Amino acid sequence: MYIRGRYLILSLILVIALSSGLTAFVMKDGQTGSSVENAASTPEFQKLLDTYSTLQKDFYQGAKSDQLLNGAIDGMVKSLDDPYSTYMPPDEATQFHENIESSFEGIGAEIRAEDGKIVVVSPIKGSPSESAGIKPNDRIRSVDGKSLDGMTASEAVTHIRGKKGTKAELVIERPGEQGVLNISLVRDTIPIETVYSEMLPDKMGKVQVTKVSETTFTEFSKAIQSLKEQGMKGLIIDLRSNPGGLLNITVKMADMLLPEGKMIMQVEYKDGSKDTYKSDKEQLGLPIVVLVDGGSASAAEILAAALKESGDVPLVGTKTFGKGTVQTTKSFKDGSDIKYTIAKWLTPNGNWVHKSGIEPDHKVELPAYASLHALDPDKEMKKEQFSNEIKSAQTMLEALGFTPGRLDGFFDEKTEQAVMSFQQANGIEKTGVVGGKTTLKMMELLRAKLEKDDTQLEMAKSVLRKMIP
């Protein structure tokens, strides 16, 4: 969500469905780049010009000027070896600027490039990716048979995004699991809502922020006001699987929650100078607990760190992702952009969380079945077969109270009996085969169970309950 002349923050790199991301940007007043005039007179620059001239003149298939120039720019940016710096040709740049300010169609996941692989930062709430069980740190190896290895995030997005209703066949590697996962999902319109709220028992309000966009502060303020009108006595802010967003909006949210004069964050540039952000006034005045996990990144981490270090707000969940750099963009007349890292952000106490993340005050894991990926209802699994998908199905059956006898991915007679017991209990024809209605019902019941067994939320409620006067 880049707007020239405004302070924005980094999210982890690109929204798959968007062909862009909520990458963080800071435009620092008065800062300019190296002198082009000086660079043009150097031997290195002359070498570049000579290479351009030679290839344009002598390459046997002919070389177009724009092809050579775009390749040179792309190569320069890639030489930085920074996953958050990238060159975007005009079509990608257009999608980037359009999509970060509007709804979009795709699978709905934030990604980044790391060590030649496309890595999921977080699925977006309510998106096909979330429904399919895609998790933070999953590696997307290919889409529709096209390998994504070696691509930048921008390049990968052009292959992953697509129109609503089209099918995407993903091959996923999940850390800690052998083999690959084949996930089939249907692209859809990704929800533009970023804030969801509800009143929990004991007048505890809960506000989930799924990303930080242009509308988030307005949504957040309305949610807080509504909960206060309902008599809210304490607040749980859920930042789990929040990949980040806009800096100015994040600062406004923190300003609303912290006492006057408290440090929110710092941005440090390469020359050592810093921009600091402090709270002007507090508008809530109630106890707060924050939920975080490995999908909480950039803007979500800034808000969590600000509340933790400047507001003594406890964090509950698991360690955050660890994205501590800030990006800006430069646009060219042909519509292309370069996006590059310009600074790092620091917590109120001056800590840099890049690659290390933020440890919660109360570490709580979700149940093991929460990490399962969704099963494809169009794919049948039956006796004598062996696969990672069967392993997931067995784990689902176990979690739902239907013992399959083993959890290693081999579909034996005991697994078949467990499937038939599940089918009988749910009014489905007893075939002993996992697929269709059986698969859909298993995933439906598992999602409902996870909502009831949200161990992290339960801990947050317990912590907040003790804080309420």
The tokens for 275 are 């921009």
Name the CATH superfamily for 104-190. PDZ domain (2.30.42.10)
Residue 103: what pLDDT? 60
Say if residue 38 is exposed, middle or buried (CB neighbours under 10 Å; 0-12, 13-18, 19+): exposed
The tokens for 53 are 């001239």
- Domain residue spans of the chain: 104-190, 195-330+340-367, 368-452
CA distance 85 to 23: 10
Q: Which helix (H) or strand (E) holds 112?
A: strand 109-114
Residue 48: what pLDDT? 87
CA distance 89 to 80: 18
> Given 3.90.226.10, 3.40.50.300, 3.40.50.720, 3.90.1150.10, which CATH number is that of 195-330+340-367?
3.90.226.10
Residue 158: what pLDDT? 82
Is 41 marked active-site?
no
Is 197 marked active-site?
no
- Terminal-to-terminal C-alpha distance of the chain: 40
Annotated catalytic residue, options 92, 110, 309, 416: 309
pLDDT tens, N- to C-terminus, the chain (469 residues): 222 223 343 433 333 333 233 334 443 333 334 455 565 667 778 888 888 899 988 898 888 888 898 899 999 999 999 988 989 888 777 766 654 554 677 898 888 888 889 988 878 878 899 888 898 889 999 999 999 999 888 788 888 888 899 999 999 999 878 889 999 999 998 767 889 999 999 999 999 998 888 889 999 999 999 999 999 999 999 999 998 888 889 999 999 999 999 999 999 999 999 999 999 977 788 999 999 999 999 999 999 999 999 999 999 999 999 999 988 888 888 888 998 999 999 999 999 999 999 999 999 999 988 888 778 888 899 999 999 999 999 999 999 999 999 999 999 999 999 999 999 999 999 999 999 899 989 988 998 898 889 999 999 999 999 999 9
The tokens for 33 are 């780049």
pTM of the model: 0.73
CA distance 427 to 39: 74
Question: How do 288-292 and 315-317 pair as beta strands?
Answer: parallel
List all residues 6 or more positions away from 58 whose beta carbon is below 8 Å from its beta carbon.
none
Annotated catalytic residue, options 323, 339, 391, 441: 323
Is 114 marked active-site?
no
Residue 287: what pLDDT? 97
Residue 66: what pLDDT? 86
Beta-bridge mates of residue 238: 208, 291
Secondary structure (H, E, C), 214-280 = CCHHHHHHHHHHHHHHCCCCEEEEECCCCCEECHHHHHHHHHHHCCCCCEEEEEEECCCCEEEEECC
Q: How many CB atoms lie within 10 A of CB 229?
A: 8
Annotated catalytic residue, options 127, 197, 241, 298: 298
The tokens for 272 are 């050592």
- 3-class SS of residue 72: helix
For the 368-452 domain, the top CATH level (class) is mainly alpha
Residue 463: what pLDDT? 98
